[in-house]
C-alpha cells in the first residue's frame, strides 16, 4: 500500500486525528500539513459499506484557486449522494402494508411493543430510535386513545383524517404533545400523529379537540364512534357539556348531567331517558314532540326542563315526580290542560306557559310555595283560581293577553309580588285588595276595559311604574298622587279630558304619557315636574303651551304632534337638554328664533305643517 493510501485512511479515522485542524467534515476531510498545503479526501457516505470502500487519493492542489474548485466538486458529489440516499429511504417507506379499505384500518400491532422488522420508515432514524425506546409505540398512520385504565387501541387512518380537518390545525400546533405531518391530497386531508402521549395528558388532548371545535361529526359520521369511546370511558362529566353533537353514553349514564336537544326535529323521546338519573338540565325545545314519555318522572335530579315550541297538547301526570325541578318552560305549545300533579313540584321557582289554548289553571297551583315567577301569557284563560293567593314567594305574575274579566281578591295576599302584568285582557274592574301589594314596583293594567281604579292603589308606596293606557278611564283617582316613588305614569288613550293639580306631587316622575287623552289644557303644576325627561302630549286638543314649559330643564323628548297649536313660546329655548322635538301635524306657521338655543337638539319633526321657513343656524 502506497503512502497516499495510508494517508487517506489515517485522515478518515477520528482516533488518528490530532489537533483542532483535523476535524472531519461532511463529505470531505481537511488535513493540515507542515508545508501549509491543504489536502482534500472524500468520505464514504453510505453508498457502500465502510469496510469495502477504498478510494484512490486524489491529486493534491497547492494553488488556492484549484483548491476552491476541488472543494466545490466534492460538495456537489455530497449533495448528489444525499439525494440518492433519501430516494432509497422513500423506496423503503413505500413497503408499508396497504390500508384495508374494507375494514378502514391498517393491520394492527400489539400496543406496548416495538414494531417488528421490516417496518415502514416514516420518520428519520433518530426519531425512530426514540419511538422504539418509548414505553409504548404508535405509528404515523394512526394514533391511540385511552382513558384511565382503558387499554389503548389504534385508530384507523381514515378516522384520523376525519378528526382533524384541513385548516383547523394552527390552533393546536403549540401543544407540546401534538405533532403533525401534512399530506396534501385531492381532499386536502391532514395526517396527524400524537407523539408518546402519556395517559395523564390524553384527557387534556381530547378536551382540547372538543373546545377547538375540530370534531366535525356532521360531515364525518364515523367520528361519532371514536368520540363515544373517548368520552364514555372517562370520569370527567363536564366534557359532556362541550359536545357539539349527541354521543351514546352507554353504561355511564351517571356522567350525564346536561342534555341539550333543542331544534333537532325530534318527534319522540325514548323511554330510556328515564335512566339518566343524574340529569339536571334537559332542553327539548323547538322540536316536533307531541307527547312526553311517562318515564320522564324518573329524573328526580332534574332542575331545568325546556319543552317550549313543540306540539304538546298535554303533559304526563308523572311530571309531578320531578321534585327537584326549579324551571319549567312550556311556551308555544297547543296545551289545553295542565295536570293537577303540577302542584307536587314544591321546588319549582319559574313556570312559563303560552301561547296556548289553555283555558283553566288547576287549583293545585297554589301548592307551589317556592314559585317566584309565574307567566301565563297569550292563553285563553277566563279566570284565575283563588289559590293563587297562596304563592307567598311569588315576585313576578304575568297574565297578559288572556280573556280575564276579573281577578280574585286573594291576589292581595301576594306580599312579595314586585311585578304584575294583567294587560290586554277584558278586565272591567280591579279588586280593592290590590292596595295590599306593598312590595309592588311595576303594575301594568293597560289595554283593558277599566272605567275606574280603586282609591286603594294609593297604598302602593313602592310603585315605580304604572301603566293604565288604552282603557275607559274618565277620571284619575286621587290615590295616584300619593305614589311619591312613581317614576313612570302612562295614561294614554283614555277619555280623561283633564288632569288634576295633584299631579304636581309626583316629583320623581321622569316619564309622563298623556297622548290621546282629549286634553284641552294642562294644570300649572305639571311644569314643576323638573325631573321629567319624556313628555308626550300628542293627539290632544291643546291650542296653547304656556311659557312655564321652560322650567322643565331635564326634558329630553317633547311630543306635541297632532294638536291645534297656534304658537310655541319663546321659553322653549331654555330646554337645553332637549334632543327630540316633534311638532308634526300642527297648524304652526312659525316657530320662535329661540329654538336655535337648543344645543342638544338632534331631531326636529315639522312634517305636515304650513311653515314656510325655520330660523337659520339652529339645525346642522
Residues lower than pLDDT 70 in the chain: 1-253, 255, 616-620
Are 121 and 231 in the same domain?
yes
Cell digits of residue 197? 402521549
- Residue 141, C-beta contacts closer than 8 angstroms, at least 6 positions apart: 96, 99, 106, 122, 157, 160, 191
Residue 577 pLDDT: 97
Residue 206 pLDDT: 52
Residue 256 pLDDT: 75
DSSP 489-505: EE--S-------GGGGG
Cell digits of residue 133? 425506546
Upstream peptide bond of 152 is cis (omega within 30 degrees of 0): no
Distance CA 21, CA 67 (A): 17
The SS3 call for residue 443 is: strand
Are 165 and 280 in the same domain?
no
Cell digits of residue 44? 464514504
Are 295 and 229 in the same domain?
no
Are 275 and 375 in the same domain?
yes
Distance CA 548, CA 574 (A): 10
Q: Tally the domains of the chain.
A: 3
Are 272 and 242 in the same domain?
no
Are 116 and 229 in the same domain?
yes
With respect to residue 98, please indicate whether it lies within any of the assigned structural domains: no
pLDDT tens-digit profile of 80-124?
Answer: 555 545 444 444 444 444 434 333 333 333 333 333 433 433 333
Are 149 and 247 in the same domain?
yes
With respect to residue 603, please indicate whether it lies within any of the assigned structural domains: no
With respect to residue 157, please indicate whether it lies within any of the assigned structural domains: yes
Distance CA 469, CA 491 (A): 5
Are 275 and 356 in the same domain?
yes
Question: Which residue reads 306657521 in cell numbers?
Answer: 589
- The conformation of residue 282, written as its DSSP 8-state character, comes to E
Q: Do 355 and 332 meet the contact criterion of CB atoms below 8 Å apart?
A: yes
CA distances from 119 to 114, 115, 448, 465 (A): 10, 6, 85, 80
With respect to residue 187, please indicate whether it lies within any of the assigned structural domains: yes
Q: Do 163 and 209 meet the contact criterion of CB atoms below 8 Å apart?
A: yes
Are 119 and 228 in the same domain?
yes
Return the sign of the alpha-carbon dihedral for residues 614, 615, 619, 620. positive
β-pairing, 28-32 vs 38-42, is antiparallel
With respect to residue 609, please indicate whether it lies within any of the assigned structural domains: no
Domain with 291 in it: what CATH number?
3.80.10.10
With respect to residue 457, please indicate whether it lies within any of the assigned structural domains: no
Are 182 and 286 in the same domain?
no
With respect to residue 466, please indicate whether it lies within any of the assigned structural domains: no
Q: Where are the beta strands (DSSP E) in 190-302?
A: 190-193, 258-260, 281-283
With respect to residue 158, please indicate whether it lies within any of the assigned structural domains: yes
Are 220 and 330 in the same domain?
no
Domain's final residue, options 71, 93, 115: 93
Are 273 and 313 in the same domain?
yes
Residue 614 pLDDT: 77
- The conformation of residue 582, written as its DSSP 8-state character, comes to E
Q: Do 516 and 490 meet the contact criterion of CB atoms below 8 Å apart?
A: no
Domain's final residue, options 225, 256, 287: 256
Domain's final residue, options 256, 283, 318: 256
Q: Do 413 and 389 meet the contact criterion of CB atoms below 8 Å apart?
A: yes
Cell digits of residue 580? 327630540
CA distances from 303 to 274, 308, 333, 369, 538 (A): 14, 16, 21, 16, 49
- Give me the domain span that covers residue 50: 3-93
For the purposes of burial, counting CB atoms within 10 Å of the CB of 50, is it exposed (0-12), middle (13-18) or buried (19 or more)? exposed
pTM of the model: 0.65
pLDDT tens-digit profile of 222-274?
Answer: 444 444 555 554 444 444 444 444 445 555 667 678 888 888 888 999 898 89
Residue 221 pLDDT: 42
Q: Where are the beta strands (DSSP E) in 519-568?
A: 534-536, 557-559
Amino acid at each position: 500500500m502506497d503512502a497516499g493510501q495510508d494517508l487517506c485512511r489515517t485522515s478518515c479515522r477520528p482516533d488518528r486525528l490530532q489537533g483542532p485542524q483535523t476535524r472531519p467534515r461532511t463529505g470531505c476531510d481537511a488535513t493540515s500539513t507542515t508545508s501549509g498545503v491543504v489536502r482534500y479526501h472524500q468520505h464514504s457516505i453510505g453508498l457502500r459499506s465502510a469496510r469495502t470502500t477504498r478510494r484512490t487519493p486524489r491529486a493534491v492542489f497547492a494553488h488556492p484557486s484549484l483548491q476552491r474548485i476541488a472543494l466545490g466538486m466534492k460538495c456537489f458529489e455530497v449533495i448528489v449522494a444525499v439525494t440518492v440516499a433519501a430516494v432509497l429511504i422513500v423506496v423503503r417507506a413505500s413497503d408499508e402494508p396497504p390500508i384495508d379499505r374494507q375494514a378502514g384500518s391498517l393491520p394492527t400491532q400489539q400496543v406496548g411493543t416495538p414494531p417488528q422488522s421490516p417496518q415502514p420508515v416514516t420518520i428519520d432514524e433518530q426519531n425512530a430510535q426514540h419511538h422504539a425506546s418509548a414505553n409504548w409505540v404508535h405509528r404515523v398512520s394512526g394514533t391511540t386513545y385511552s382513558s384511565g385504565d382503558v387499554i389503548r387501541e389504534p385508530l384507523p387512518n381514515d378516522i384520523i383524517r376525519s378528526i382533524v380537518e384541513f385548516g383547523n390545525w394552527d390552533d393546536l400546533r403549540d401543544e407540546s404533545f401534538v405533532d403533525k405531518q401534512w399530506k396534501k391530497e385531492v381532499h386536502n386531508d391532514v395526517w396527524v400523529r400524537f407523539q408518546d402521549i402519556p395517559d395523564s395528558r390524553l384527557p387534556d388532548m381530547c378536551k382540547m379537540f372538543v373546545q377547538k371545535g375540530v370534531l366535525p361529526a356532521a360531515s364525518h359520521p364515523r367520528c361519532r364512534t371514536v368520540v363515544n369511546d373517548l368520552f364514555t370511558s372517562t370520569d370527567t362529566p363536564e366534557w359532556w357539556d362541550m359536545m357539539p353533537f349527541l354521543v351514546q353514553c352507554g353504561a355511564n349514564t351517571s356522567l350525564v348531567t346536561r342534555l341539550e336537544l333543542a331544534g333537532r326535529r325530534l318527534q319522540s323521546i325514548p323511554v330510556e331517558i328515564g335512566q339518566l338519573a343524574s340529569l339536571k338540565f334537559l332542553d327539548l325545545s323547538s322540536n316536533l314532540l307531541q307527547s312526553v314519555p311517562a318515564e320522564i318522572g324518573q329524573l328526580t335530579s332534574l332542575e331545568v326542563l325546556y319543552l317550549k315550541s313543540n306540539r304538546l297538547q298535554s303533559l304526563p301526570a308523572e311530571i309531578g315526580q320531578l321534585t327537584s325541578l326549579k324551571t319549567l318552560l312550556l311556551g308555544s305549545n297547543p296545551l289545553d290542560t295542565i295536570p293537577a300533579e303540577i302542584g307536587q313540584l314544591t321546588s319549582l321557582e319559574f313556570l312559563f306557559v303560552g301561547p296556548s289554548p289553555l283555558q283553566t289553571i288547576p287549583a293545585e297551583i297554589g301548592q307551589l310555595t317556592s314559585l317566584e315567577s309565574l307567566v301565563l301569557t297569550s292563553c285563553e284563560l277566563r279566570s284565575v283560581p283563588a289559590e293563587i293567593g297562596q304563592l307567598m314567594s311569588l315576585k313576578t305574575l304575568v297574565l297578559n293577553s288572556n280573556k280575564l274579566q276579573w281577578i280574585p281578591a286573594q291576589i292581595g295576599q301576594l306580599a312579595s309580588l314586585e311585578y304584575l302584568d294583567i294587560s290586554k285582557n277584558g278586565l272591567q274592574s280591579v279588586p280593592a285588595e290590590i292596595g295590599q301589594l306593598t312590595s309592588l314596583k311595576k303594575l301594568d293594567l293597560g289595554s283593558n276595559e277599566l272605567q275606574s281604579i280603586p282609591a286603594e292603589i294609593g297604598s302602593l308606596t313602592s310603585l315605580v311604574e304604572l301603566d293604565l293606557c288604552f282603557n275607559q278611564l274618565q277620571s284619575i283617582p286621587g290615590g295616584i298622587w300619593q305614589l311619591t316613588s312613581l317614576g313612570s305614569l302612562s295614561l294614554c288613550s283614555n277619555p280623561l279630558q283633564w288632569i288634576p293639580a295633584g299631579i304636581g306631587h309626583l316629583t320623581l316622575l321622569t316619564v309622563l304619557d298623556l297622548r290621546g287623552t282629549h286634553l284641552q289644557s294642562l294644570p300649572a303644576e305639571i311644569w314643576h315636574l323638573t325631573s321629567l325627561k319624556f313628555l308626550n302630549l300628542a293627539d290632544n286638543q291643546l291650542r296653547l303651551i304656556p311659557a312655564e314649559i321652560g322650567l322643565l330643564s331635564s326634558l329630553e323628548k317633547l311630543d306635541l304632534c297632532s294638536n291645534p297649536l297656534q304658537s310655541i313660546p319663546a321659553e322653549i329655548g331654555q330646554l337645553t337638554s332637549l334632543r327630540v322635538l316633534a311638532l308634526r301635524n300642527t297648524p304652526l306657521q312659525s316657530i320662535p328664533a329661540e329654538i336655535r338655543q337648543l344645543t342638544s337638539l338632534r331631531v326636529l319633526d315639522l312634517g305636515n305643517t304650513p311653515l314656510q321657513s325655520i330660523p337659520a343656524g339652529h339645525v346642522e
